[in-house]
Structure formats: structure tokens, C-alpha cells
Structure 1
Amino acid sequence: MSLTSRTRRLTAGLAVAALTLTTAGAASAAYAMPYAPAGSTVTAAEPGPLMNYVVNTKASPGHVRKAENAVKAAGGTVVESYARIGVVVAQSTNPDFRTDVRAGRDGREVQSVGATRTAAVSEGPVGSAAKASAQAPTKGLAAGEATMAADPDEAKQWDMVQIKADQAHKVTDGSRQVLVGINDSGVDDTHPDLAPNFDARNSVNCTGNGVPDTTPGGWRPTTSAHGTHVAGTVAAARNGVGIVGVAPGVRIASVKVVNDDGYIYPEYAICGFVWAAEHGMDVTNHSYFIDPWQFWCDDNADQGAVQEAVRRAVAYATDRGVLSVAAAGNSNYDLSNKTTDSSSPNDSTAVTRQIDNDCLDLPTELPGVITVASTTQAKAKSGFSNFGLHTIDVAAPGSSILSTLPGGGYGTMSGTSMASPHVAGVAALMKSVHPWWGPRDLERGLRKQADDTACPATPDPRCTGTTADNAFYGEGIADALDAVRRGW
């Protein structure tokens, strides 16, 4: 995948490891005519393309039931309901669904509603898709190709030295009680460096309209090596094979939120956050932005409703003990001074639009999410890395990172996608030595223990702030050694 319009999501340094995306079609066949129940004021319209929506209401079973009734009255189908956050994911071919779902007594319970994409649903109508099969993982690099590491290659991991993970491992490799969710394109759980730490019981596939699918193997990659690479950085095992992750003693679970075309739609991400919240995860890594908008603006009805639904899912995960860590993005863009966006929507036809700081990169700019910028081996900001004063929390290595690939391989990738799992791994080590800490404690710890990193010696006007907190590095480069010291 390129580092242009798709920015942070699933970036790769090697062409052999990059994703190839296909744009979803602008329309699909109508599957059902919306209906008007007896006594309803809704008038049936000619069916349009099949679309998914988030419908927000108050967080209670009663309010969600009324919202579900409103969805059905508007000719929609309930895909998934989250009473704990007051979000219903719905599907409809009714082109007037946004208006009709608010009609009638039950419709008054709807606080906001928005389409989750601009292209028609490609997964097909709810209930039509077959369950994922337990397919074999895709093949990675073969021996001798590119940067394949057939033998133990810990000495090549400059990134672990930069964040002092090699020194932290003398204190701890991490606790088996700590579980990290790899919310990504799937993880090859058969990889010899990942199998020892993989937790299949808590893994899931969320790419079927955002409905959790626990079919064995459904969490594996199908078209992308990205999630497997991220997983290795977090927790490749210390087993005499290949490389070592930041936290080689913790467990990892695959939360697949990237579909075969490379899209991470809101319903997938919401499914992933809620799943993590309800399956005992301590840390989750999110090396993506939510499609199809690079920035979701709350003054747009669709985008505002999605922004709120995802915010609720993240807050729910935080309240249930999950620290969310996310990549800052690869557009070399100032997230603290937004002006224009020319790359969205990326599932139909992109337009150039004026934006401001109320338009959020999801999920990385939401409250409670650790936003991670990327550094080079020389501790400089990676050229592709997004930045922003008081937006970037910490930085970590992201340029030419060696990690695991599907099929037992190894290779390098670049991007803030690679920086974020370093911080997720540091958080996992910190949780291991402070098991009583919650997400907010871990967040404070990550900031406090980061190594202050000054702006470039050659002045760069984009790097505003101080040595202690600036636009390029936030509060500094993550420090795994300080993270595991108990006496601070």
C-alpha cells in the first residue's frame, strides 16, 4: 500500500509486503424493498444501493430496543447492537433511511445516524455471507528473498536498542497474564515466532459487516502481511527463532478489522474495540485509520454520527481496562493545524475539502488513545510521519523495521504502523510489572518514561514546542527500560 492517499493504514517498506487495494464499487444491486409497517408515516422508496449505518441512542437496553424498532420501521436490518454504548449498526437499501429512521415514536430515540461508507456494501446483505474458513495463512517471503532472516536476528533489531527493550528484557520479558490485541489485517498464528504467544480463544474476525466471527482461522490474514508484521514487533517469542518482540513473554490475540480490499470501515473498528473490552485485553494496537474518510468531521451528519459511535466504543474499552495505542499516520501532516484533505473518501471518488481541527483522524485522535509518531534509526522524525503539538503523545521506531511475515517469513516494513506496536509492547511490559495499573495509569507512565527528544538542530518551523513536549516526538521516544523499573 502506498504512503499517499491511504496514509498510515497498513504501510509497508517493501513492495513485496505492501497491500494492493481495490476500490469498492459505487453501487450494488438492491436486495430488498424497504417496507412501511402498519401505522407508519414512512413511504416506501425505490431501493438504492445496500448501505451500512450507525444509529446512536442512549446507552441502555430499552433505548437500543426502540432504536432497533426504528431501524426496522425504516426498512432496515439490524446488523449488530451494542446496548452498553448505545450504538446500533444497521443495513438498508432505503435511500431515505437517515430520515425515515427518525420517524415515529421509536425514531425519537435516535440521537444521530450516519452512513459508514460512501460505496455500497461489498460484503453482501447480512446473513448472506458464509463464515470464514480456517484457511492456511498466506505465504510470506521465502528463504533468501529480500530481508529474510532464516536464523536468529535479534542483533539486527536496532529498533529494540533505541527504545531500550534489550535492556528491559533483563528485568522482564512480560507476563503471561497480559493480553495484547492486534487490531489489524489478521495474524498468522502458525508462524514459529508467534505461535507460542498466540491466544486463539480470544481472537476474532470483525470484517463481515462488523459482526464478530469466531470461526477458527477467520482471524488469519488473507491478502495482507501487515497484521503479522505488527504482531511480531509486539510479542515475537524468545525461542531461538528469528527475532524478539518488545514484550516476548505476553500473549497476543488477532482482532481482524481489515477486509480483503484493505478497508477498515467503522463497524469493523467498533466491533474490534468492543471485543477487546469484553475479552480481557490489556492493550490493543491500531495501526490504521478508519475508512473512508482520513478525517471525520462532526459538522457532517454522517461523519459526525460515526465519530460519536467510535468515540463511545473507545471509551467503553478504556472503562473496561483496555489501553488503546494507535499510529499517527504517514502523510507528513500537521494534525494540530488541519486545513485541507484531498484523499477522502477513498472508497469512491476523493474530493478536496476544507477541514479544521474538529475533523478527527479516527481512532488515533480520540480521547484515551495513545498517538504514536515514527522515528528513524538516527532518532529523527521519519519523513512520512504525521506530527502535531499536543497531538503526538510519544514516538518510536518506524523506519525499516524487521519483523514477522506470514508463512514463517521475516521482512522489513516502514510506517507509523510499525512505530505504534513498539509502544503497545512497552505498555504491555509496564502492565506486566504494574498489574494493578489501568489504562490511564499506563498512559501517564508512557508519557513520563519517554525520553525527551529535542527538535532538529537545524531549525524546522514545523517542530514547535519544547524538548519535553513537541510536535515531532510528543513527550519523547518510548523507553522500555524505564517502563519496567518499579521504583518510580
Structure 2
Amino acid sequence: MSRRSTDLRTGWRLVGIGLVLTLVVLLASSGTLAAGAMADTESVSATGTATDESPHLATGATDGTEPAIDPALENATGEVRVVVQFDDLERDEIPDGEAAIETRQAHANASQEPLERHASETSGVTFERGFWITNAAVVTVDRERADVTELATIDGVSGLYADTEVVASSGTVDGATTAATADAGEEYTEGLETINVPQAWDEFDTRGEGATVVVLDSGVDGDHPDLEVEGWKDFSSTPSDEPVDYDSHGTHVSGIVAGGNASGTQIGVAPEATLVHGAVITDCDEECRGRQSTVLEGIEWAIDQDADVISTSFGWDDYLPSMVQAVENANDAGTVVVAGVGNGGEGTSIAPGNVYDAVGVGASSKTDSVIGFSAGEEIDTADAWGRHALDSWPDSYVAPDVVAPGVGVKGPVPGGDYASRSGTSKATPHVAGTVALMQSATDEELTPDEIQRALRETAWKPDGEPDEPDTRYGHGIIDTRAAIDAVGDHSSVEGTVNDAVTEEPLAEATVEIVAEDGTVAEIETDEDGTFDRFGLAGDEEYTVVVAKEGYETIEETAFVPTDERVMIDVVAAGDGELEVTLRDTHFDAGIEDGTVSLNGSRGIYPGTTLENGTYVVSDVPTDEHYTLEASSDGYEDETRRVAVEDDAATRTVAMTGDATLEVTVESEEEGDPIENASVVLERGDGESYEAANLTDESGQLTVVIPGTGEPYTVEASAPEFASTAVESEPIESEATESVTVVLSEPLLPIPGFGPAAAVIALAAFTLLAMRVDRRD
């Protein structure tokens, strides 16, 4: 065989191998595409439980040239429910305010009239109902008798979609549902603490009063002690007149929005908000299911309830066109739509949480990180929404907008119980409750755009996270207090309350800020004696009333300009007074040059001198006991434990000198000590006192006296001796001085007579001598 023939055979073999390989690759590719298509045919999800089901996509042009048709409709058999989507109005055709709803309703009626006429004329097509919240209608089509695609030929139809189901589950993403009665020792749930709800309550004096929250979910236990349901509608096929939960998901979610503290722990963000519940997820044989059409009906009903915010903890793994209009129209009606972005993890999102104008919510953990199951993705507006996107939307954006606590969140469940659950279902009501507080805290009607912007701008991230929005945190973890402060013109009054005497800060003082119309905002000072009250209407004068036990009530006035902060420093005087008299125990007289003070937990309250040794300690709080401290130069310090009452009280403190005088009394002629001599001391002001004791056998006596730096006149007397007085040296504080008093004997020491008798005898003798001399 020639070399040429061998080469040809080798070449044909290579060609054959190449053809076989190519066929294998083509078959493998075909199988992969088919698998992918099958995976894309299912479309249910919820924020309450994780799902790995794929998005439900519609085919057809999205540039306005022809309606999009849901692939699920093309191969459906039997009766199918179809959501027929119509073109919406242009933005410049919609008026502001309440007229927007009327305009949309009129436009929806006009748009859907041809569909109603088609249904009435076509066998196998039944018009169920129309919506204005999104310009859409639901029809039932019997595929055996009618062609679904004919609906796409009706004027104004932009798309045909299966009335898809949505699932909400009471379970947690990790399957760990824990029954719990209360958090012993906790005043608030950890979630409320994380987003600064208690601080917002205190500073803005609101717990949601005047705001209405509509929760659309599986129903609610209206008898739960932590819930007060003020509005209810059951959208099931056999509706209940009274609130009922077909699962437990709705009760748990409602409690996080507006629950109370019957368990001992505050569980709801806005407990004073008006809680309204619509049961739209009611088919709960195995897992709770609802339909797109039912949810749309629920949103319309929520608008009729004057909802400030709608909370939806469920959604579709899809960019659902009906949700775009529903969110947009709700916003035009002044209602914020808060929706979870799902539990599918990074790279996923669900509607309506992924609608740009909704507030999409992800879930943070107890460590402020974003939990792994929390959904998040960057959304290309044109690719995701096509013709349904609004011109005002950016080219791309991220979902979620913000995140909130969604792991181990405690809330109520039917039967008066409590449970800890996880999911973006549990993060969503934290945000919905915050929106209620934001609206409640301002007199202005906030727009959904203002609320969404404030939530985004005041959210925060842990250190190390990117500053720009990302697919995990969005803009960050919400801060309720900061979000409230960011909306409206919130003026504020802040200041300090200190003791008027000691200048110590006064904690737990009650501060009432009274508006001109009598509205009162009440807060307490912190441990530093400071107070800070936000959320005040500006451009008016307020009366600031400060009260604390043991103190006089103080009133200050302050004019508060719009959107400004006013500082007020208040000094509070105690409402008690103590009058103290210092008495010298020796001379029985008042001590003029002493000091008196009361020493208490807030410092020292000094006394001032009145007269005659009397002192007064004023502005003393009457809420505690004090140590009375008295001192004066030359005296021993004295202390007493005293209570100060509301009325002026009096105390007398006897003070003893701190110096000693050693007195020696002796006779003039012999220098012998004189026993039992008495000693009288006199000071410069003429006051005197007699020592209680007499001299001893050595003629000595030690006397305690005030060491005031002055001399004393010391007079000693004894029987059969003439009294004698001498002056001591000046005696200083704590000094010991000595003085000797020498007594002389009587002039005529006649036995049995004392000095007085001798004087009389001497006088008689002198008179007798004078008479004798005259006779001579």
C-alpha cells in the first residue's frame, strides 16, 4: 500500500472521530438547555422560608411592540387563571394627592373594558375582577374552549401572566422554631435595641400613635395578649369575620410591627400604631399559599384603610410587572410598601422587595453581620424590568435597600405563646414599624420617597464594610432614631439639670416640654443630668418644667426656631432648710464665728450666719439624710446625723472648747495649796462661767475652755481667804496654759469670824478711837 493511501485513510478516521465528538457535544448542549428551561418553570418563594426554586420568566418583546406572554400559560391545560396586564398612565398624566387614585381607577376601568367585553362574548373566558392598584385584571380561561394568546390582541394589553402562587411559611430558614414565654429580665427584644427603638421612643415621644400599618400575611390571632387588631379582612374563599391565623406566620410578623409587652418584654416597634391585618396567604394545608391576584386585592384594600405603610413578608422569585405598578400606585397614594427580599441568599431577590420604589429588606444577625440566607443582588433595570421600569429609575440598583434584625427574633404566635424565628420575614416588620414611628413623629404627611431616602441615608454598616450600597447590606442596618430625626423639621431642646448649690448633675429628673397648645413631651435626665428632646414643632415658645423629688419645681421658657437646637441649663434648688444654733457649753452663749454645713450624696450645703450664733442651711434636697458638720476656732468639731424636712427645721449643737487652763490656787503668806477653792472665768465680752469642780488637795483645777486666742480673767475664792482675780495669757486652739491665783488671808483673822466680820470689827474699832480722841 502506498504512503498516499495510508495518509488518506488516517485523515478519514480523524474526520469521523471529529463528527462523533461534535454530535456528543450537541446532544449534551441540548440536554443542558432543556434542563435549564425546566428549572425556570417554577416560581414561588417567601421571605419566611428559604427556597431554591428558580425564577418564573415571561417571553415576548418588552419594548412595547407586542405583549409578553408567560411561558407557563402556553402549555397549560384545563382552566387557568390569567393576570392580564395593561399599560399604565404616564407620570405626567397623574395628578398629585387623592386625585391620583381616582385618575388611576378611571384609567383602569377604561383600559379593562375591552377585556370585559371580550370575556362576555367569548366562550371559555370569564372576567373575575379588575384592579386599579396595578392596571390589570384576572380572567379564567378554559384552554379546551379558548385560546389564551387571543387576550394579547386586546388593545392596551402589555402582558399575560399566570396568576402565580406565593408561599409563606411559619418555619424558620434553619428549621429551628423555639417556643418561649418571655425574655426574663429583658425590657426590650434584642432587635428593638439594635435599631435604637427605645431611644427613639424617649427622644421623640412617639410609639406610633396616629400611624396605620397594614400587614398582609397569613392572618392574625386577635386574642393574643400582645396584639390589638383594629382592622381585619379575610381574603380566603370562606372568610372569617373575626381575626384568625391560618398558620402562625402572620401573628409573629404582626407582633414585631406593633406588639406590646404583656410577656414582660417589649416585642413591637410601634405598639401604639393602628394595626390592620389582611389575610391573603390562607391556603395552609401543607404550606401557606396565596395568589398574585389576592395580594393585589389586599394592597388595594390596604390603601382603602389609609395605610401609612404596608408590610409584606413574602414574594415571587421574579421581576413581576404587576408589582411595579402596585408599588408605584401605593406610593402615589402616600403608602410605603415594605417587603422582604427573600431567603435565597446572595444573587437572588423576590418581588415586590426587588421593586426599586419599594423598601426592600434583608436580614442581619445578632452580631450585625448579614446572615447567609438573606437575599441580595445587583439588578440591571432594563434586563429585569424592560418596558415596565419607570423612567425615573436608575440604570441599575441593589436589593435590599436596608437590613434589619432577622435571626432569632422573638414574637407572638397563636394561643398566647411566643417563639423565636428567623428570616427576612422577621426583618421586614422591624422596618415597617420604623416607618410608622417616622410618620407618627412628625405633623407633616411624609411622602414614601422622603421615608425611603431617610431610611437609606441614616442606615449604618459595621467597620470594614463598603460605603456604597452593596448586595449584602444595601445601605446598611436601619437606625430608627436617626431616621425619625432625618424626616421633617425636627426642632429640639437639650440641656442639663444640676443642683443649685453643689452643681452636681441630677439624674432621673422629669423634664416636661410644654407646647403652646398644651401638648406635653416628657423625658428624664440621664446619669449626667442631661436631657435631649427631639421632634418638636419649631417656631414657637415652649415651657420647660423640671421636677425631682426633694427639689423645688423649676419653670423656664424658651423660643425654639424651626429645625434648630436650643440649649437650656437648669439649676434646681432643694426644697428643705435647716436652722442651726451653735452654743458654747461653758459660757452658755451663741458662737458667732463658726461654720455649719450639711454633707450629703450630692456634696456639701454650707450654712450662712444669722445672729446670736444661729446659722441657716438653705436649698437642701429633702430626699435623703445628711451629716451635720459644725466647727469653730477654739472648739471641738461636732457632727450629727439629721434629716431635712420640707418645712424649716431647727437643731442646737453644743460645742466644747478645745483648750485647757490649769489653775493653781495657793495662799499668799505660806504658799500653801488651797483646797476646795472655786474658780470663775470671765472673757472679754463680760460673759463668765464657774467651773463645776473645786480645786483638789494640791490646790489645782484643770478647766476646759475655748482656745479662741484671747485671755481670760480667772477669779478664785476660798473660805477664810479674800477672792483674787488674775488674767491669763491668750489661749490658742488646742493649747494648755497655766495660771496661779494667790489668795490672801482676812485682815483680822478673828477665830470664828470670816473676813466680813473682821471688816466690821475694824470699823467699830476705828469709830471708838475717834470718839476717844475727841474727848481728849
C-alpha deviation, 1:251, in angstroms: 1.2
**C-alpha separation in 2, matches of 1:94 and 1:443:** 44
Q: How far is 1:295 from its partner?
A: 2.2
- Cα distance in structure 1, aligned partners of 2:211 and 2:165: 38
Q: 1:163 aligns with which of 195, 200, 208?
A: 195
Letter in 1 for 2:366: Q
Give the aligned partner of residue 448 of structure 1. Answer: 457
- 2:245 maps to 1:221: yes
Task: Give the 5 Å matches for 1:466-485.
Answer: 466-485=466-485
Verify the 8 A CA contact 1:175 1:432 in the aligned structure 2. yes
The residue aligned with 1:425 is 433
Corresponding residue for 2:406?
A: 398
Specify the code of the residue in structure 2 equivalent to 1:115: A
Percent identical across equivalent pairs?
26
Instruction: Return the alpha-carbon distance in structure 1 between the equivalents of residues 306 and 194 of structure 2.
Output: 30
1:292-331 map, 5 Å = 294-296=317-319, 307-331=320-344
- The aligned counterpart of 1:439 is 448
The separation in 2 between residues aligned to 1:329 and 1:455, in whole angstroms, is: 25
> When the two structures are superposed, what TM-score results if normalisation uses the length of structure 1?
0.69
Partner of 1:271: 297
Report the Cα distance in structure 2 between the residues aligned to 1:153 and 1:423, rounded to whole angstroms: 25
Superposed CA offset, 1:335-377 (max 9, x none) = 4xxxxxxxxxxxxxxxxxxxxxxxx721111131111111111
Displacement of 1:475 in angstroms is 1.2
Quick one: distance in 1 between partners of 2:474 and 2:183? 36
Counterpart in 1 of 2:254?
231
What SS does structure 1 have at the residue aligned with 2:179? Answer: coil
Shift of 1:207: 4.0
- Residue number in structure 2 paired with 1:81: 130
The C-alpha deviation readout for 1:219-266, integer Å capped at 9, x for no partner, is 5212x1111111111111255755331111111111212132422321
1:158-197 CA deviation, whole Å, 9 max, x = no partner?
11111111211213343332111111111112111112xx
Which amino acid letter does the alignment assign opposite residue 72 of structure 1?
S
The alignment status of 1:110 with 2:157, answered yes or no, reads yes
Deviations 1:32-78 (A, max 9, x none): xxxxxxxxxxxxxxx94222111123534222222111233332222
Pairing 1:408–2:416 present: yes
Which of 237, 256, 272 is the equivalent residue of 2:279?
256
Q: Does 1:72 find its partner at 2:126?
A: no
Letter in 2 for 1:329: G
Letter in structure 1 aligned against 2:425: S
Shift of residue 100 of structure 1? Answer: 3.1
Amino acid across the alignment from 2:480: A
TM-aligned CA deviation for residue 382 of structure 1: 0.9
Q: What amino acid sits opposite 1:82 in the alignment?
A: F
Residues 97-149 of structure 1, C-alpha deviation per residue, up to 9 Å, x if partnerless?
4223356xxx3343332222389xxxxxxxxxxxxxxxxxx9xxxxxx94321
Distance in 1, matches of 2:192 and 2:132, equals 42
* Residue identity in the other structure for 1:117: T
* 1:311, distance to aligned residue in structure 2 (A): 1.8
Partner of 1:199: helix, strand, or coil? strand
Q: For the residues of structure 1 that align with 2:405 and 2:44, how far apart are their CA atoms?
A: 20
Q: Quick one: distance in 2 between partners of 1:83 and 1:158?
A: 40
The answer (yes or no) to whether the contact 2:48–2:343 under 8 Å persists in 1 is: no
**Comparing 61-70 and 369-378, the one that deviates more:** 61-70
Aligned-pair CA distance for 1:8: 3.9
Query: Offset at 1:430?
Result: 0.6
* C-alpha separation in 2, matches of 1:101 and 1:469: 41
How far 1:436 moved relative to its partner? 1.5
Map of 1:459 onto structure 2: none
Query: Relative to 1, partners in 2 of residues 1:146 and 1:329: Cα closer, same or farther, differing over 3 Å?
Result: closer
Give distance in 1, aligned partners of 2:150 and 2:199: 60
- Per the alignment, do residues 391 and 97 of structure 1 end up closer, same or farther by CA in structure 2, a change over 3 Å counting? same
Distance 1:112-1:70 versus aligned 2 partners, 3 A rule: farther
**1:299-318 Cα deviation digits (max 9, x unpaired):** xxxxxxxx222322222111
Contact 1:11–1:226 (CA under 8 A) maintained in structure 2 = no
Q: Contact 2:182 / 2:263 at 8 angstroms: preserved in 1?
A: no
Checking the alignment, whether the CA contact within 8 Å between 1:277 and 1:316 is kept in structure 2 is no
1:366 aligns with 2:355: yes
Q: Secondary structure at the match of 1:161?
A: helix
Distance (Å, rounded) in 1 between the aligned partners of 2:142 and 2:236: 20
The whole-number CA distance in structure 2 between the counterparts of 1:240 and 1:190 is 14
Separation of aligned partners in 2, 1:67 and 1:270: 18
Deviation at 1:428, TM superposition (A): 0.9
* CA 1:310–1:72: 2 relative to 1, 3 Å: farther
- Aligned to 2:202, the other structure's residue is in SS state coil
Q: Structure 1 398/240 Cα, relative in aligned 2: closer, same or farther at 3 Å?
A: closer
Bigger Cα Rg: 2
Q: Where does 1:334-353 land on structure 2 (aligned, <5 Å)?
A: 334-335=347-348
| 2:579 alignment counterpart | none
Residues 1:100 and 2:139 are matched in the alignment = no
Mark the runs of 5 or more structure 1 residues left unpaired by the alignment: 13-18, 20-46, 120-137, 139-144, 297-306, 336-359, 457-465
Distance 1:251 1:287 in 2: 19
Contact 1:66 1:109 in 2 (8 A): no
Q: Separation in 1 of the partners of 2:119 and 2:235?
A: 22
What SS class does the counterpart of residue 264 from structure 1 fall into?
strand
Structure 1 contact 98–114 (Cα < 8 Å) conserved? no
Q: What CA distance in whole angstroms lies between the structure 2 residues aligned with 1:421 and 1:433? A: 18
Task: Return the alpha-carbon distance in structure 2 between the equivalents of residues 83 and 162 of structure 1.
Answer: 39
Higher relative contact order (CA 8 A, sep 6+): 1
**SS class of match (2:452):** helix
1:310–1:118 Cα change, 3 Å: closer
SS at match of 1:77: strand
Q: Is the 8 A contact 1:373 1:386 kept in 2?
A: yes
Q: 1:9 and 2:38 equivalent?
A: no
Deviation at 1:403, TM superposition (A): 0.6
Equivalent pair of 2:406/2:423 in contact (CA under 8 Å): yes
- Residue 285 of structure 1 deviates from its aligned partner by 1.0
C-alpha separation in 1, matches of 2:254 and 2:184: 17
Deviation at 1:472, TM superposition (A): 1.5
Q: TM-score, normalised by structure 2?
A: 0.44
Cα distance change on mapping 1:308 and 1:328 into 2, 3 Å: closer
Using the alignment, how far apart are the partners of 1:115 and 1:146 within structure 2?
Answer: 37
Work out the number of aligned pairs and report it: 368
Contact kept? 1:193, 1:242, Cα under 8 Å: no
CA contact (8 A) 1:332 1:386 kept: yes
Residues 81 and 87, structure 1, Cα contact 8 Å, conserved in 2: yes
Map residues 8-27 of structure 1 onto 2, 5 A cutoff. Answer: 8-11=46-49
Structure-2 separation of matches of 1:97 and 1:91: 11
CA drift of 1:449 comes to: 1.7
